[in-house]
Amino acid sequence: SLKTGVQQVFINKLKLINFRNYSSLDIMLNDKLNIFIGNNAQGKTNIIESIYLTGFGKSFRTNKDKELIKTSNDMAYVKIQGKKRYSEFSIELRLWNNKNKEIKTNGISLTKLSELLGNISLVIFSPEDLRLIKGGPSERRRFIDREISHINKKYYYNIMSYNKVLFQRNNLLKNISYNRKLLNTIDIWNEKLIEYGCEVILKRIEFINRLNVLSRLMHRKITEGRENLEVKYLSNIKVNNKATYDEIYESFKTKLQAKIENDIKRGFTTIGPHKDDLGIYIDDADIRIFGSQGQQRTAALSLKLSEIEIIKGEIGEYPILLLDDVMSELDINRQKFLIKSLKNVQTFITITEIPELMAPLVKEGSIFKISKGNVIKYR
């Protein structure tokens, strides 16, 4: 099942003890497709969550380990075993009620949570991700910043530095309204703000240009070529998607100077990448305003799935894909094309039932029926 030259990661065993509503679970997994079927509140998302935990060391639903431990127990245990670059690996976590979690990779204890990251890469799509479309600009900036930071440490440093300088500059602006003399000291903050800001904008533009190409392809696959998705970086500094560092620098500087009195009056910086947004369009219409539920969901999915290719480009292997509750708002055609387009990645899907029309497409996969924390391998 390995494609030419592409490294691949698989999980082939999952073991849970006293995790959420599972007393004990031990299942063999499929290299390609794993479908978890069950009614509401039976434990489908809990499975996805346990796998997520082995990649990130924490849940996407809660920061409290205690919630992950089955009620009236002291410890939860999660173990995955799999293959990575043709050799076997394992990751184990022990979560405790009253002490820090313990993590082991290949049987060896880790001293820091950060050592876990990068062992296996995971991409998750859950209903929460719809906020990418329906939420405000800050949701979309968070998405962009998180995605770039994952693959670029320097960006993470630049965005953190930018935010620190922004905080300082905002404090200064508030003080200037009481003490006009302080205005002399703003240049040093402006300079730093522009420097870090330019790095941030430049990287975001580069990332979004790439995201645009990849998500457009993915969206055409899922919609069978019916819809054209476009994403654009919307900068309040008014730079286009081919801008150079110098162009961004000049524009940012000019705008910042033009807005200084306004900034003092408002007591915060009104211009810069912390105010930028991501524009999302289908066939030229802004999807946040004109998109249907299904279109919005498909677009969010296309954007997230582009991460698969981005990660592959960066680390040379496809990540594992976790799709929680994705199918419910997609029509049968979109569901079919989604499944078809996921050929290269090991995928975990939760669903309340499999429509008959889907059955032929999921032939190669394994199906698990979940009921009250019990799992039966159906095929």
Binding site membership for ATP: which residues?
38-45
Closest distance of CB 114 from ligand ATP, Å: 26
Q: Of 8, 30, 34, 45, which one interacts with ligand ATP (CB under 6 A)?
A: 45
Stretch that binds ligand ATP, among 64-72, 97-105, 164-172, 197-205 (CB under 6 A): 64-72
Angle between helices 332-340 and 186-222 (to 10 degrees): 100
Residues 6+ apart with CB under 8 A from 106: 89, 90
Asked if residue 353 binds ligand ATP (CB under 6 A), the reply is no
Residue nearest to Mg ion (CB): 45
Closest distance of CB 46 from Mg ion, Å: 8
Closest distance of CB 134 from Mg ion, Å: 19
Asked if residue 366 binds Mg ion (CB under 5 A), the reply is no
Q: Of 30, 42, 54, 306, which one interacts with ligand ATP (CB under 6 A)?
A: 42
Q: How far is CA 190 from CA 169, 174, 177, 212, 260, in A?
A: 8, 15, 17, 31, 10
CA–CA separation, 237 and 232 (whole Å): 14
What residue numbers does the annotated binding site cover?
A: 38-45
End-to-end CA separation in angstroms for the chain: 19
Asked if residue 46 binds ligand ATP (CB under 6 A), the reply is yes
Q: Which is nearer to Mg ion, 299 or 326 (CB)?
A: 326
Q: Which is nearer to ligand ATP, 109 or 371 (CB)?
A: 371
The footprint of ligand ATP on residues 240-269 (CB under 6 A) is none
Q: Which two tokens stand for residue 18?
A: 């006293």
CA–CA separation, 218 and 197 (whole Å): 31
* DSSP class of 177: T
CA–CA separation, 349 and 334 (whole Å): 15
Q: Of 40, 63, 87, 179, which one interacts with ligand ATP (CB under 6 A)?
A: 40
Q: How many residues bind Mg ion (CB under 5 A)?
A: 2
* DSSP class of 360: G
Q: Which two tokens stand for residue 163?
A: 């935010």
Q: Which two tokens stand for residue 200?
A: 């941030």
The footprint of ligand ATP on residues 7-26 (CB under 6 A) is 20-21
The footprint of ligand ATP on residues 316-345 (CB under 6 A) is 325
Closest distance of CB 134 from ligand ATP, Å: 19
Helices (H), the chain: 44-56, 131-134, 137-151, 153-176, 186-222, 245-258, 260-266, 287-290, 293-315, 332-340
Closest distance of CB 202 from ligand ATP, Å: 40
- Alpha-carbon radius of gyration of the chain: 23
Q: Which is nearer to Mg ion, 198 or 321 (CB)?
A: 321
Asked if residue 346 binds ligand ATP (CB under 6 A), the reply is no
CA-nearest of 376, 377, 373, 352 to 43 is 373
Q: How far is CA 55 from CA 49, 116, 319, 374, in A?
A: 10, 7, 10, 24
Q: How many residues bind ligand ATP (CB under 6 A)?
A: 16
The footprint of Mg ion on residues 27-46 (CB under 5 A) is 44-45
Stretch that binds ligand ATP, among 38-46, 173-181, 233-241, 301-309 (CB under 6 A): 38-46
* Chain positions contacting ligand ATP, by CB under 6 A: 20-21, 38, 40-46, 67, 69-71, 325, 350
* Chain positions contacting Mg ion, by CB under 5 A: 44-45
